[in-house]
Amino acid sequence: MKMKNILIFVVTMLASLVSFSQQLMTGKVIAVTDGNTFELRTPDNDTYKILLFGIDCPELGQDFGDVAKLKLEKMILNQTVAVEIRGKDRWGNRLGVIVGDGATDPRMVLLEAGLAWTAEREPAQELEAIREQARNEKKGLWSQQDPTPPWTYRRQQTMTQLKTS
């Protein structure tokens, strides 16, 4: 009996840790920065930069970057949304997924339209399947012979900037 109580305690503690690791934020989308980045204003009037978890859209200087941004604006700008925070990137930006009853996941829409790559590292299999289908159908950026991923584009831009001492 004692072992059963310990097991129940451990399972309860693990479940609470998981629930704390995924924060839910609600608010109004007040700006769309690019195809996978937006600003969320909470009811407390705090503003947060959110990147869509698991995808990366072309940068605004790349082909289809403006199209991806416009698509995201049409879906979420000035809308009240719930965002499940899945962590932070290396710059401290929140990574999130828009959730809720009947909420359209913009990540899926962008991938289906051929306007996004899956994450560079450890892409989610369900997202990768959607990206691959768009690629096979030559949608959006996949209509190009060899599109440059946004992470490669960003690295190239960083290398061309003048170094200051």
- State the CATH number of the domain containing residue 67: 2.40.50.90
pLDDT at residue number 46: 96
pTM of the model: 0.82
Closest CA to 115 of 90, 92, 83, 149: 149
Domain assignment of residue 34, given as a range: 23-144
Residue 2 lies in a domain: no
pLDDT at residue number 158: 83
Residue 156 lies in a domain: no
Residue 163 lies in a domain: no
Residue 151 lies in a domain: no
Residue 150 lies in a domain: no
Residue 88 lies in a domain: yes
pLDDT tens, position by position, 74-123:
999 999 999 999 999 988 999 999 998 888 899 999 999 999 999 988 88
pLDDT tens, position by position, 28-82:
999 999 999 999 999 999 999 999 999 999 999 999 999 999 999 999 999 999 9
> Into how many domains does the chain fold?
1
Residue 142 pLDDT greater than 80, yes or no: yes
Residue 39 lies in a domain: yes
With contact defined as beta carbons under 8 Å apart, do 27 and 82 qualify? no
Residue 62 lies in a domain: yes
